[in-house]
């Protein structure tokens, strides 16, 4: 059963209800029966409590409102309190200034006077609680919000006795690591999940380490307050934060819930006059989503670690978004472009005299009865005309012409050589078009429009919007409703009339604008995003950060545009007859009445001004009032007018593959399909980026494309094959709809969780069944169209198709691409590591063949004379590197067959720890000298040990690397020599901060010197090193012994330069997937450029 203010808690009598649930929650002998409390100490006293059945608890929850629990006195046997009993409690609320009395104001004034011994007037009782400081007296109220910025803004609108504090967001959550689980609960099987799936999905809540100090601070301040006001955001997350605060703080004072959608003085006044209870439906909805996400991620992710690679993750919504991105990329890979030609003619109007006769541009559209093929007529999978288009050319009659280059050149020449006046206007079509104004912003449309116009990421958009909201400049930024309140509608129309003219704005007396269009699953709990206040502040009157200023401008003008008149445009289309039955067409658009386009024109000009000032990039995609088309202005045209060709040119066109998703377009697609909610879009995209499932490519900000990595292909294929519902858009959309029903209290959340996770068809059973049957080699295999005979990838249940053989191909086996624990690699005669962030379109037969040839032909540099081991130059996931010794299980033993090419847990790169284990230098000895001392001339390590590898500095061309230079790299950090004055050793190497000298426990940076020059660690001599030490300022000593300092320096250089692997999950960290290393580890080459 629910506790802590959620459901009424029964006493020993089922008809008796506890009045203040959180007070009893603090009882020394009472442990909550639903939510496991592991971080809040029990204190105080409470009567004996016994549990009821879940069915009886449900009946209590539905029959007794939460407000009954807020009353400071309990009601015996459920009897209704009399008016006499209620009056003092109402008066106390009035005195504290926390809520306007619901009864007669006169009666409240009298009750207040009687309880305080002071005669107050009726007028005083009618004042706002925030203004009635005399009534408040010395009483204090603690107001809790999420962020410090929001707290500072709200504090300005409240009296001094209202103390506004920040809780810094969520104060409790499910455990993130096994270490956060109490020792007494770790023995339970469900402890790994943090949710007791065997007992009504009870969540285990803990206070994160970085929130404990905040909770203690709030608890201390609450002891000095007479009331607690929870003013967190009015959404699921905000409601959950308020509920968790009550659970943790266990207030012994009245608790009020204040909600507002904008942080202005009027809004705060209104919120503090109309408190409400915590909405437990919203709390249940947030908790259900959190539990679902935990069950999905913590059940599937370990299977991905086991079958593919550590650090991978699956999510209820993120996996669907990833599948969308991968499917779009597969469309691009299967796409076959087609080339076609068109003809553009520059035509002069004959009846207009003058030195500069107007010119119009027309395009050839038909030849006789046949039309010219355009881009949409081609099939992207074949690069030819679609079958339905080809079917139009039947019975020897050609209705669609695919214009090639010779034909286009011939037709252009014929049109160019036609006599003057050979072109004639045969028809003019004019029609008026009305463009309705856009709706005010929702969270989704704000992310899309701001990302597209401002060239920033959705994360940057929401951070700026959050800052604007907390500063009191805009309304709440998480909403799916485009509707404006009546107050906002009036303010928008008034501002539009003042700025653009009364005729351009919707009349003030007109009815509010309504729309039937709304996103799938929209709740419309809040109004649209708009400037805050009863009157909108113009952008030029605000002093904000550049991005915040531009975002406010966008919101301001969009809100004004939504309450302006529709734009009226006139479209004119000319049909022009030319020689040889050629038919041309020209069109243009004129603005007759701008209406809302004036707002967008003003926005465009503001952004152009910002771009010229150099403070931000600008986008000029909506020249709202620029007349579109190719018709000359102020020229009267009529049917029969003659024209003469000035220039006729053939133009080549090529069909384009479907565009990759940008952040803006992905948000739009998710919203269209009802996947996720506005508050989750940013976190979805950021998770995909952090996990290295996708990378940004192209221009900066949101305009950059989201490109899936090879890891994304493997994960999506794995989920589609074994857990198809998990990446199915329709299934996820239906899940969101079910969660919305739970949020409205119309569905049983426990039953839904049972259906989703438990039972024979639940997720847990499916994972258990698949765990032992999934083949690791098949799971790690990457199927790409370019490697499968340039055809679509095989069915997930079928075998790989063989490629067409030719004379050259016979010399090479079929390339097999895998993603292993250490990143992607290909087996193509040789096993070759691939860059982690390589895109699928870069994985071609030519690329793979070149990599294999490089490894086969140019790998061996020679033999180390000290150890007798071979030295190799190779390319790994993080670039070129040198290697001393053979790989365990050398590739010479591999054949080109698919069986021998199967990946193992030892594929690609080793871990840093494995590489470092054999090369720790003793005091006063270099790493290389230690290695040579161990060397026997045959082998310096056991056959199963990983070889030493060192990355090349960024300035070093692999073509320049010979055996001598490779041995220098392998010797780092090396001994330069002994200082002539002290006799102490000077060492040189590469560290995380760049090249350095180490002398007398002090580091001296070499970053300011030329990479690869005489001062580089590879080449520096003793004289140069002594000179640098004598003239440069060294860094502070790190207070370590010479022995540990030398060892750490060797570890830093060697460990940083080696290819690293993802750490496998351990028992202590089984709750949390290890972070995916999507970027290259710190190597000694990253800082060498200085």
Helix (H, G, I), strand (E, B) or coil at 295: helix
User: Of 844, 839, 842, 820, which is closest to residue 831 (Cα–Cα)?
Assistant: 820
φ, ψ dihedrals at 689, nearest 5°: -70, -45
Kindly report the number of other CB atoms within 10 A of residue 611's CB atom.
Answer: 14
DSSP codes of every residue in 73-119: S--GGGPPPPHHHHHHHHHHHHHHTSS--SS-HHHHHHHHHHHHT--
Please identify which residue in the block is written with the tokens 């765990």: 771
φ, ψ dihedrals at 871, nearest 5°: -110, 130
User: Of 996, 1053, 1007, which is closest to residue 1029 (Cα–Cα)?
Assistant: 996
Structure token pair of residue 506? 């919707």
Please identify which residue in the block is written with the tokens 């028809």: 427
How many whole angstroms separate alpha carbon 956 and alpha carbon 496?
61
- The strand order across the sheet containing 36-37 reads 36-37, 202-205, 195-196
Residue 949 contacts residue 1059 (beta carbons within 8 Å)? yes
How many whole angstroms separate alpha carbon 390 and alpha carbon 558?
45
Mutual angle of helices 280-307 and 236-249, in 10-degree steps: 100
φ, ψ dihedrals at 404, nearest 5°: -100, 180
Q: What is the Cβ-side half-sphere exposure of residue 850, based on CA atoms within 13 angstroms? A: 7
Helix (H, G, I), strand (E, B) or coil at 366: strand
DSSP codes of every residue in 194-239: TEETTTTTEEEEB--GGGHHHHHHHHHHHTT-SEEEE---SSHHHH
Considering only CA atoms, give the Rg of the chain.
36
Structure token pair of residue 836? 């982690």
Structure token pair of residue 439? 């709706």
| Alpha helix (H) residue ranges in 744-873 | 749-757, 763-771, 776-780, 845-857
How many whole angstroms separate alpha carbon 36 and alpha carbon 342?
71
Residue 875 contacts residue 860 (beta carbons within 8 Å)? no
Structure token pair of residue 626? 């620029």
Exposed, middle or buried by CB within 10 Å (0-12, 13-18, 19+), for 638?
exposed
Residue 40 carries which DSSP code? Answer: S
How many whole angstroms separate alpha carbon 1015 and alpha carbon 1010?
7
Dihedral (Cα; 1028, 1029, 1033, 1038), 10-degree rounding: 130
Residue 910 contacts residue 888 (beta carbons within 8 Å)? no
The dihedral of CA 231, 232, 236, 241: what is its sign? negative
Q: Which of 298, 340, 476, 600 is catalytic?
A: 476
Structure token pair of residue 42? 């029990």
How many whole angstroms separate alpha carbon 664 and alpha carbon 448?
4
Exposed, middle or buried by CB within 10 Å (0-12, 13-18, 19+), for 19?
middle
Task: Please confirm, yes or no, whether 476 is among the known catalytic residues.
Answer: yes
User: Of 667, 536, 533, 548, which is closest to residue 599 (Cα–Cα)?
Assistant: 536
- Residue 735 falls in which region: left (phi positive, over 0), alpha (psi -120 to 50) or beta: alpha
How many whole angstroms separate alpha carbon 308 and alpha carbon 507?
63
How many whole angstroms separate alpha carbon 1003 and alpha carbon 995?
10
How many whole angstroms separate alpha carbon 873 and alpha carbon 881?
6
For the annotated catalytic residues, the residue numbers are 476
């Amino acid at each position: 059963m629910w506790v802590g203010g959620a459901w009424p808690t029964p006493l020993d009598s089922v008809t008796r209800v506890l009045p203040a649930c959180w007070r009893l929650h603090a009882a020394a002998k009472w442990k909550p029966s639903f939510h496991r409390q592991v971080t809040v100490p029990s204190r105080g006293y409470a009567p004996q409590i016994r549990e009821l059945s879940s069915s009886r608890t449900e009946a209590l929850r539905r029959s007794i409102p939460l407000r009954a629990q807020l009353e400071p006195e309990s009601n015996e046997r459920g009897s209704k309190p009399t008016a006499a009993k209620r009056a003092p409690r109402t008066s106390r609320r009035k005195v504290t200034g926390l809520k306007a009395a619901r009864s007669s104001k006169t009666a409240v004034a009298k009750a207040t006077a009687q309880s305080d011994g002071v005669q107050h007037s009726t007028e005083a009782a009618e004042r706002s609680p925030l203004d009635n400081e005399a009534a408040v007296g010395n009483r204090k109220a603690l107001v809790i919000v999420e962020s410090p910025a929001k707290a500072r803004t709200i504090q300005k609108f409240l009296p001094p006795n209202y103390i506004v504090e920040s809780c810094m967001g969520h104060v409790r959550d499910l455990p993130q690591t096994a270490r956060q689980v109490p020792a007494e609960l770790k023995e339970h099987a469900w402890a790994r999940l943090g949710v007791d799936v065997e007992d009504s999905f009870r969540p285990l809540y803990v206070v994160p380490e970085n929130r404990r100090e905040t909770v203690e601070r709030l608890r201390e301040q609450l002891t000095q307050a007479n009331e607690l006001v929870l003013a967190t955001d009015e959404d699921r997350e905000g409601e959950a934060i308020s509920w968790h605060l009550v659970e943790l703080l266990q207030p012994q004072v009245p608790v009020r819930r204040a909600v507002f959608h904008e942080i202005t003085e009027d809004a705060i006044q209104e919120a503090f006059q109309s408190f409400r209870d915590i909405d437990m439906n919203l709390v249940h909805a947030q908790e259900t989503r959190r539990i679902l996400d935990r069950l999905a991620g913590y059940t599937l992710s370990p299977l991905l670690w086991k079958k593919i690679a550590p650090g991978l993750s699956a999510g209820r919504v993120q996996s669907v978004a990833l599948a969308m991105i991968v499917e779009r990329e597969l469309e691009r890979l299967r796409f076959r472009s087609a080339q076609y030609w068109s003809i553009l003619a520059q035509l002069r109007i004959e009846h207009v005299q003058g030195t500069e006769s107007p010119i119009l541009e027309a395009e050839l559209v038909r030849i006789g009865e046949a039309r010219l093929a355009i881009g949409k007529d081609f099939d992207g999978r074949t690069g030819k005309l679609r079958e339905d288009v080809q079917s139009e050319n039947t019975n020897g009659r050609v209705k669609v012409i695919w214009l090639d280059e010779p034909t286009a050149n011939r037709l252009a020449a014929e049109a160019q050589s036609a006599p003057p006046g050979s072109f004639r206007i045969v028809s003019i079509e004019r029609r008026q078009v009305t463009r309705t104004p856009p709706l005010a912003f929702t969270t989704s449309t704000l992310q899309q429009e701001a990302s597209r116009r401002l060239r920033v990421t959705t994360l940057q958009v929401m951070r700026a919007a959050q800052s604007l909201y907390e500063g009191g400049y805009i309304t709440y930024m998480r909403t799916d409703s485009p509707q404006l309140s009546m107050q906002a509608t009036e303010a928008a129309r008034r501002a539009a009339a003042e700025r653009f003219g009364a005729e351009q704005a919707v009349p003030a007396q007109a009815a509010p604008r309504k729309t039937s269009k709304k996103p799938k699953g929209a709740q419309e709990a809040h109004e649209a995003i708009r400037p805050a206040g009863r009157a909108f502040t113009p952008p030029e009157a605000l002093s904000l950060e550049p991005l915040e200023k531009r975002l406010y401008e966008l919101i301001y003008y969009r809100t004004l545009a939504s309450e302006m008149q529709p734009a009226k445009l006139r479209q004119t289309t000319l049909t022009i007859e030319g020689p040889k039955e050629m038919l041309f067409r020209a069109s243009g658009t004129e603005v007759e009445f701008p209406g809302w386009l004036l707002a967008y024109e003003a926005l465009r000009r503001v952004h152009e001004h910002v771009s010229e000032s150099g403070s931000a990039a600008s986008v000029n995609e909506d020249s709202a009032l620029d007349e579109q088309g190719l018709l000359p202005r102020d020229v009267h045209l009529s049917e029969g007018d003659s024209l003469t060709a000035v220039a006729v040119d053939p133009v080549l066109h090529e069909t384009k593959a479907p565009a990759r998703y940008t952040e803006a377009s992905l948000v739009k697609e998710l919203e269209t399909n009802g996947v996720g909610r506005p508050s989750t879009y940013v976190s979805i995209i950021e998770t995909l980026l952090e996990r290295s499932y996708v990378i940004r490519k192209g221009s900066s900000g949101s305009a950059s494309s989201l490109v899936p990595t090879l890891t994304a292909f493997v994960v999506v294929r794995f989920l589609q094959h074994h857990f198809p519902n998990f990446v199915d858009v329709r299934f996820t959309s239906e899940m969101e709809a079910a969660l919305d029903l739970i949020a409205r209290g119309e569905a049983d959340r426990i039953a839904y969780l049972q259906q989703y996770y438990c039972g024979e068809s639940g997720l847990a059973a499916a994972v258990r069944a698949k765990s032992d049957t999934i083949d690791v080699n098949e799971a790690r295999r990457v199927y790409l169209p370019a490697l499968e005979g340039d055809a679509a990838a095989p069915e997930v249940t079928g075998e790989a198709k063989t490629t067409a053989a030719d004379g050259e191909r016979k010399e090479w086996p079929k390339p097999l691409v895998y993603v292993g624990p250490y990143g992607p690699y290909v087996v193509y005669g040789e096993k070759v590591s691939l860059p982690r962030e390589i895109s699928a379109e870069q994985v071609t037969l030519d690329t793979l063949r070149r990599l294999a040839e490089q490894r086969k032909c140019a790998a061996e540099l020679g033999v180390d004379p000290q150890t007798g081991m071979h030295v190799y130059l190779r390319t790994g996931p993080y670039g070129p590197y040198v290697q001393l010794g053979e790989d365990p299980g050398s590739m010479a033993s591999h054949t080109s067959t698919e069986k021998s090419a199967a990946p193992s847990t030892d594929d690609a790169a080793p871990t840093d720890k494995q590489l470092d284990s054999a090369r720790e230098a003793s005091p006063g000895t270099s790493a290389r000298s230690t290695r040579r001392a161990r060397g026997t001339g045959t082998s310096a390590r056991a056959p199963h040990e990983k070889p030493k590898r060192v990355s090349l500095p960024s300035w070093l061309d692999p073509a320049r690397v010979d055996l001598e230079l490779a041995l220098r790299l392998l010797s780092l950090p090396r001994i330069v020599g002994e200082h002539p004055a002290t006799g102490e050793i000077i060492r040189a190497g590469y560290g995380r901060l760049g090249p350095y000298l180490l002398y007398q426990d002090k580091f001296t940076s070499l970053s300011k010197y030329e990479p690869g020059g005489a001062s580089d660690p590879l080449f520096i001599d003793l004289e140069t090193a002594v000179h640098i030490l004598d003239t440069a300022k060294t860094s502070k000593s790190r207070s370590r012994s010479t022995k540990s300092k030398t060892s750490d320096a060797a570890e830093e250089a060697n460990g940083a330069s080696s290819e690293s692997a993802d750490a496998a999950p351990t028992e202590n960290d089984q709750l949390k997937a290890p972070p995916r290393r999507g970027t290259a580890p710190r190597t000694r080459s990253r800082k060498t450029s200085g």
